[in-house]
Amino acid sequence: MKVRFSKSNPGIRLFVWAFVLFTICTGYTAFTKPQIKKHSAQFVLYLEVTEEFSDEVILHIDSIRLIKTDSSFFTIPVSKIISSQKTASQQIKLIDRYIEPGMYTSALFFCSGIEGYIGKVKMQADISVSGYRIPLLKEATAERCCFVNMVWDVHPFDEKEKEYQPHISVSSSVVQNFKDILLVSNENSDNVTIIDQLTYKILDVLKTNKGPRGMVYAEQNQLLFVANSKSDNISIYNILNLQKIKDISLNNGDEPSRLILSDDEQYLYILNYGSKSLSIVNLLSYQEESRVYDFEDLYAIALDETKGYLYISEPLSNKVRIFDPVNNTIVSEISFDGHVTELAFNNITEELIVAAKYRGLLFRYNSKTGEFANPVNLCSPASGISFNTFGDNLFVSEKDCKIVAIVDPEKSIEISTIYLDDEPGLIAQDSDNRNLFLIYPDNDVLSIFSIHSKTLVKTIDVGKRPYTALDIW
* Angle (nearest 5°) at CA 330 between 254 and 268: 50
Average pLDDT over residues 262-278: 97
Average pLDDT over residues 393-422: 95
* Closest C-alpha among 219, 269, 273, 226 to residue 246: 226
pLDDT in tens, 224-237: 999 999 999 999 99
Q: Assign residue 299 a region: left if phi > 0, alpha if psi is -120 to 50, beta otherwise? A: alpha
Question: Which amino acid, one-letter code, is at 337?
Answer: D
Q: Answer whether residue 331 shows pLDDT above 50.
A: yes
Of 1-10, 258-267, 436-445, 448-457, minimum mean pLDDT range: 1-10
Q: Answer whether residue 156 shows pLDDT above 90.
A: no
Pairing of strands 310-314, 301-303: antiparallel
Of 81-90, 201-210, 214-223, 352-361, minimum mean pLDDT range: 81-90
The set of residues, in sequence order, having a beta carbon less than 8 Å from that of 39 and lying 6+ positions away, is 101, 142
Q: pLDDT-based confidence at 131, cuts 50/70/90?
A: low
Average pLDDT over residues 158-168: 55
CA distance readout (Å), 315 to 185, 321, 354 = 24, 11, 11
Contact 124, 7 (CB under 8 A): yes
Residue percentage of the chain with pLDDT more than 70: 82
Average pLDDT over residues 404-408: 96
Tell which wins on pLDDT, 137 or 322. 322
Average pLDDT over residues 415-444: 94
**What's the Rg (C-alpha) of the chain?**
25
Contact 298, 314 (CB under 8 A): yes
Contact 236, 225 (CB under 8 A): yes
Say what the pLDDT of residue 151 is.
81
Q: pLDDT-based confidence at 30, cuts 50/70/90?
A: very low
Question: Which amino acid, one-letter code, is at 449?
Answer: F
Say what the pLDDT of residue 13 is.
36
Pairing of strands 351-356, 340-346: antiparallel
Residue ranges of domains in the chain = 3-171
pLDDT in tens, 71-100: 999 899 998 888 777 776 778 888 988 899
Average pLDDT over residues 307-331: 96
End-to-end CA distance of the chain: 44
Say what the pLDDT of residue 53 is.
56
pLDDT in tens, 286-298: 999 999 998 999 9
Of 2-11, 323-332, 423-432, minimum mean pLDDT range: 2-11
Say what the pLDDT of residue 85 is.
74
pLDDT in tens, 31-42: 444 444 457 898
Say what the pLDDT of residue 51 is.
62
Say what the pLDDT of residue 130 is.
52
Mean pLDDT of the chain: 85
Of 142-151, 253-262, 444-453, minimum mean pLDDT range: 142-151
Say what the pLDDT of residue 4 is.
56
